[in-house]
Amino acid sequence: MGELLINNTGVPVLAYQLVSLIMFFAGIYGFFTRRNLMMILISVELILNAADINFAVFNRYLYPGEMEGMFFALFTIAIAACETAVAIAIIINVYRNFGNAEVDNLKKMKG
């Protein structure tokens, strides 16, 4: 398993794992602490991209014979783009109704 984890570039798979984990938890942290809707959306994108890095890295290092992970990552990017488009449209709608895109204003409903 040892040689598998390092390919000819000399970068071990764990280094990529570290990057993707940092991105993932930065996304979660941002999702909970940011007050602006656009920033929350960007945090969500960080989470999705962290998963994409994982797919690409696992495919390249552990299962180089097939391209399954790469394709999954490609599809995910496309789907994430759709999600962002719809989210931005709804955020614009919020902006029109409330006058800004801050989370603190979104408290019409409680209980």
Partner 1 sequence: MSYFDNFLIMRSEVSLLTVILFLLLFDIIAGKKGKKYFQPVAILLFALHTLTNLVPEAAGEAFGGMYQYHPVMTIIKTVLNVATLIIFLQSKHVFDGNEMKDQRGEYYFLTLSTLLGMYLMISSGHFLLFFIGLETASIPLATLIAFSKHCKKSAEAGVKFILLSAFSSGILLFGISYLYGTTGSLYFTEVSMQISHNPLQIMAFIFFLSGLFFKVSFVPFHLWTADVYEGAPTNVTSYLSVVSKGSAAFVLMTLLFKLFGSYLYEWQTLLFWIIIVTITVGNLFALRQQNIKRFLAFSSISQAGYIALGIISGSALGMTTVIYYIFVYIFSNLAAFGVISAIESRTGKTDIPDYKGLYQTNPKLSFVMMLAMFSLAGIAPFAGFMSKFFIFSAAAEQGFYLLVIVAVVNTIISLYYYLRVVKAMFIDPNGQPLPALSTDSWNRASLILCTAAIIFVGLLGFILDMIEKQSFGI
Closer to partner 1 by CB, 3 or 108: give it.
108
Closest CA to 96 of 35, 28, 37: 37
Cα 103-85-100 angle, rounded to 5 deg: 30
**Dist. CA 74–CA 105, nearest whole Å:** 36
Minimum distance of partner 1 from residue 92's CB (angstroms): 10
Minimum distance of partner 1 from residue 8's CB (angstroms): 20
Under 8 Å between Cβ of 45 and 38: no
* Footprint of partner 1 (CB under 8 A): 24, 27, 31, 37, 40-41, 44, 47-48, 50-51, 54-55, 58, 62-63, 68-69, 71-72, 75-76, 79, 82-83, 86-87, 89-91, 93-94, 96-98, 106, 108-109, 111
